[in-house]
Structures are given as C-alpha cells and as structure tokens.
Amino acid sequence: MAGRTPQKFQIPTQLFINGKLVDSHSTERHGLYNPIDETLITDQIQYAVAEDVDAAVAAAQAALQGPWKKFTAAARGDCLLKLAELLLEHKEELAWLDATPIGKPEAFSKMEVDMGVSIFKYYAGWADKYVGESAPAHDGFMKIVRHEPLGVTCGINPWNGPISTMCLKLAPALATGNVMILKPSEKTPFGTIRFAALATEAGIVPPGVIQTLPGDGKTGALLSSHMGIRKISFTGSVATGKRIQQAAAASNLKRVTLELGGKSPSAIFDDCNFENAVFWSTLAITQNTGQACFAASRLYVQESIAGKFIAAFTEAMKKKIEGLGTELGPLADASQLQRVASFFERDAGKTQVLVGGKRHGDKGCFWEPTILFNPDLNAELYREEIFGPVVCVRTFKDEAEFLRLANDSEFGLMAGVFTQDINRAMRLAAELDSGVVGINCVSYINLEAPFGGTKQSGVGREMSHYALRAYTEPKTVLIK
C-alpha cells in the first residue's frame, strides 16, 4: 500500500473526555486505509484504555449530578434542536469524516446526516412529553409512576452507519436526562469524535454530557464491564453482543439494548407489483454495498413467476455492478473483503452463481453484487450473515412453504412480503418471526416505529417512543 488519501478536513485522532480532546494513556497508535484505493488515511488513531474509561465515567457522573441535572425537559429539547442545527452546519465535514474510512459515497453519508437531523428533531419533541402515569386511588392509595433517567449510558456503534446510529442512541438518551459515552467503531471514529467536540465547544451541552472513546473490542469490553455505567446500547455482531450482555450481567446488571445481525427473508408472490418487487429486492441487498443488518439476503420467489422475476432481478444487479465505484462503494476494508470471499471459498460448489460472486478489479475492496440460486440449505452462505451485496434466491410453492423457509433461522430482524392480497399480507405479517415486516417494501425502517429483532437478532427496540423506555427506569410512588 502506498500514498495517502487527500484530506478535505482535519482528522481528529484523540479521545474526547470532559470537554477536551486528550491523548490516550496508551502510547500505541493505529492506522486506517481507504478501501477505494488502499491509500493511508492516518496512522495516528488513539484507542481508549482503562484509565481513559475511568476518566470519562467520572466526568459523566459529575455532569449528571451537576450542570446537566439542572436542565429542564424543555431545555433538553432545545439542546436536541441545536444539535440538529449543528449537524446541518457541519454536514460536509461530518459526512466526509465518516464516509472516507469505509469508502462510502459521500452522497450516502450526507443522507445519514439528514437522517440524524430528523432524529434529533423527533426526540426534541418528546423531551417534555414523555410523561408519567397515575392510577385511581379507589383503595386509599394514590399511585404515581415516574420515568427517571438511568444515568451514565454508553453507545457502542457500528461502522456501517456511524452518524445515524450515533444519533439513534444519543438523542433518546439526552432527551430523557442521561449522559452518554460514545464508542465508535475502530473503522469509523472520526465523525463521532468531531461531533462530540463540536457539541461541547458550541456550549450546547456541558462538558461530560457527550464524550467519545475510540477503540476496538478491548475498549468495548472495558465499557461493558464498568461499574459506573448503567446502560449499554450496542449495534453490531451477534458474537460481540453476547459478550457485552455477559459483561453487563457479571458487573452491575447494567441495562442492555442489542441490535444485532440479520438474514432477512423476503417473499415475491405471483400477484405482486412486479416492477416494485424488483426495485426493492435490488435496493435491499445493494444499499450501503449490502453492509446493512436488515438487508434482505434471502429472497424467495413463487414458482409460477420465478423465471421472469429472476431474469429481471439479474439484469438489475448487473447494472449495479456497472455502478461500482460511483453509486456503489467498496466493502469497508480488506478484512471485510476477506470475510465475504471466505464464504465462497468454504461453500464452493454448494450453489449456482447467477451474477457476481467475485472481487471486482484488483485494486480496492470492491465485491460484485451477487445472486446465488438454490443454495444448499445448510451452506453458511445461506444461513449466516455475509454483510455484503450477496443474496440467496430460492423458489417456493405456497405460503406454508415460504413461512417454513423464512422462519428457519436464528435471525429475526426484518422480513418482506410482496403481494397485492392484503389478507395474505396480514396473515404472513402475523406468522413471520421478525421484529419488522415490510409489505411491498423491505429493508426499510421508520423513525416513528420501533426497530429491533427477535431471536438472536437482538434485545430491545430503537426508534419511536419505545427507545425512551430503554433509557429510563419506572419508579412507583405510593401515597396514602
């Protein structure tokens, strides 16, 4: 690897603790390479170690009991509105900082910033409206339920959607009166560090309310087991989610929200809107180069239209290959490229490749959008999350067969049903073992509705008012 990526903006590589950019207690420095051309972005990234985690927790506790405690709910709502304005003001910078390390098209990252703006505005409206409850005093006791903040919370975020995921955790946490320590992925730390610094430097939040500790799994483990942290919200792999839940239980039984992997099924029935089904099926596996937890990577097509649909879908995916490097970015880095390739090495001969199935070019981390037809039901390619633009296609006869195939998975994050029969749609929505079901759409989420999975796809929900519950503890007050 040679050369350096041109820098449009200054790259933050330090930790952000108690209102200041500070050096890690570790002298180790780490590097990131641009997956488009393999040039060096920086080799000076610092990771937080135990002393840094302790310092951040102490600063968070001081802010929680000090200036932040004095903010009324309405004042917290105003803070969130100002954070939304801050995102817009620094849109170009933040989008570049988060897009560059993983080769994501900047236009896509700018859309993520816009989503972050919507998230902050949404929860700004909730800040003074997440009210308690009371029950009748017919038994001589007045019963009041208060929603109280958990305290010091932590968001451990993924690399595939760093800005939007940061906002999904930070906004409801702040709206309900918590403070948050953010640990971005070691692959995409820059935007989160910069945002925390901007928010504090602008005086929107007091020092210690938003802090950033870049690092790898070791940093995440320190946060998950820290006795001063009361809540972890994690988005990432099933394996890491299990370790976080174990650490949380073994330490102080901190609350945990886990949004984990998926192998989402989608059914194409013969009465579907054909063009709509092709559009969503293509988008579902190619948006963010297939690096999305809710990607519809298991596609089931009814036998009567299988030939026609698969032909159209194949042509749509071929066009996506032509867009590699422009509208479609690379995989996140060399390790992700190797991960995707390894599935094909282990499961060679267990499926028919209709299009793609290989690295694109000899420079950068590009993988061709891929359709696998009729894979072996026990193949890893079919059963495990690949996290790339790879979709498995099988045919089915009727609703019963589709449900059997769709629910035969340890994942349950997203599902799709394409049909114009509303009765069928609602029957299947009830029977699919999935946290979200799209009717005539798939791999789509909406801020106003809860998002999360069943089985090993996660614990708890993000988005909507359901996220507020994850950052508060109900307290019952009984009055005689």
pLDDT tens digits, one per residue of 228-268: 999 999 999 999 999 999 999 999 999 999 999 999 999 99
Helix (H/G/I), strand (E/B), else coil: 218: helix
Buried-exposed string 407-435: b where 16+ CB fall within 10 A, e elsewhere: bebebbbbbbbbbeeeebbeebeebbbbb
Are 274 and 237 contained in the same domain? Answer: no
Beta partners for residue 436, in sequence order: 414
φ, ψ of residue 37 to 5 degrees: the values are -130, 5
Name residues whose C-beta falls within 8 Å of residue 110's C-beta, 6 or more positions apart in sequence.
91, 92, 95
Are 295 and 407 contained in the same domain? Answer: yes
Positive or negative torsion for Cα 347, 349, 355, 358: positive
State the residue range of the domain holding 36: 15-260+458-479
pLDDT tens digits, one per residue of 377-424: 999 999 999 999 999 999 999 999 999 999 999 999 999 999 999 999
Count Cβ atoms within 10 A of the Cβ of residue 394 and give its class: 0-12 exposed, 13-18 middle, 19 or more buried. Answer: buried
| Mean predicted lDDT score pLDDT of the chain | 97
Helix then strand then coil, in percent of the chain rounded to 5, is 40, 20, 40
CATH code of 140's domain:
3.40.605.10
Positive or negative torsion for Cα 35, 36, 39, 45: negative
Task: Tell me how crowded residue 228 is: count the other CB atoms within 10 A of its CB.
Answer: 18
Distance CA 345, CA 380 (A): 11
Are 21 and 143 contained in the same domain? Answer: yes
Are 350 and 415 contained in the same domain? Answer: yes
Distance CA 401, CA 397 (A): 6
User: Which tokens go with 92?
Assistant: 């170009």
**Residue pair 392/298 in contact by the 8 Å Cβ criterion:** yes
pLDDT tens digits, one per residue of 59-74: 999 999 999 999 999 9
* pLDDT given at position 154: 98
Are 340 and 251 contained in the same domain? Answer: no
Which of 421, 174, 420 minimizes the C-alpha distance to 276?
420
Are 283 and 227 contained in the same domain? Answer: no
Instruction: Please state at what angle helix 106-126 crosses helix 91-99, rounded to 10 degrees.
Output: 120
Distance CA 40, CA 459 (A): 37
Helix (H/G/I), strand (E/B), else coil: 436: strand
* Domains held by the chain: number: 2
Distance CA 151, CA 231 (A): 8
Q: Is the pLDDT at 14 greater than 90, yes or no? A: yes
pLDDT tens digits, one per residue of 287-330: 999 999 999 999 999 999 999 999 999 999 999 999 998 889 99
Q: For residue 83, is it within any domain?
A: yes
pLDDT tens digits, one per residue of 77-131: 999 999 999 999 999 999 999 999 999 999 999 999 999 999 999 999 999 999 9
Residue 201 a catalytic site member: no
Which of 225, 229, 226 minimizes the C-alpha distance to 244?
225
* pLDDT given at position 49: 98
User: Which tokens go with 264?
Assistant: 């989402």
Q: For residue 311, is it within any domain?
A: yes
CA 270 from centre of chain: 33
Are 373 and 283 contained in the same domain? Answer: yes
Are 424 and 474 contained in the same domain? Answer: no
Q: How confident is the model at residue 349 (pLDDT cuts 50, 70, 90)?
A: confident
* pLDDT given at position 1: 47
Rg, the chain, Cα only:
23
Q: For residue 8, is it within any domain?
A: no
* Active-site annotation holder among 112, 259, 368, 462: 259
Q: For residue 6, is it within any domain?
A: no
Are 374 and 401 contained in the same domain? Answer: yes
Are 340 and 367 contained in the same domain? Answer: yes
Q: What torsion, rounded to 10 degrees, do the Cα atoms 427, 457, 299, 406 define?
A: -50
In the DSSP assignment, the letter for residue 272 is: S
CATH code of 406's domain:
3.40.309.10
Q: For residue 55, is it within any domain?
A: yes
Are 95 and 39 contained in the same domain? Answer: yes
Q: For residue 355, is it within any domain?
A: yes
* pLDDT given at position 2: 56
* pLDDT given at position 397: 98
Distance CA 67, CA 321 (A): 53
pLDDT tens digits, one per residue of 409-466: 999 999 999 999 999 999 999 999 999 999 999 999 999 999 999 999 999 999 999 9
Q: For residue 444, is it within any domain?
A: no
The one-letter code for the residue type at 303 is E
Distance CA 215, CA 183 (A): 7
Name residues whose C-beta falls within 8 Å of residue 280's C-beta, 6 or more positions apart in sequence.
266, 296, 416, 418, 438, 440, 441, 442, 443
Q: Is the pLDDT at 186 greater than 80, yes or no? A: yes
Are 471 and 421 contained in the same domain? Answer: no
User: Which tokens go with 428?
Assistant: 């299947």
Distance CA 282, CA 197 (A): 38
pLDDT tens digits, one per residue of 353-365: 999 999 999 999 9
Q: For residue 3, is it within any domain?
A: no
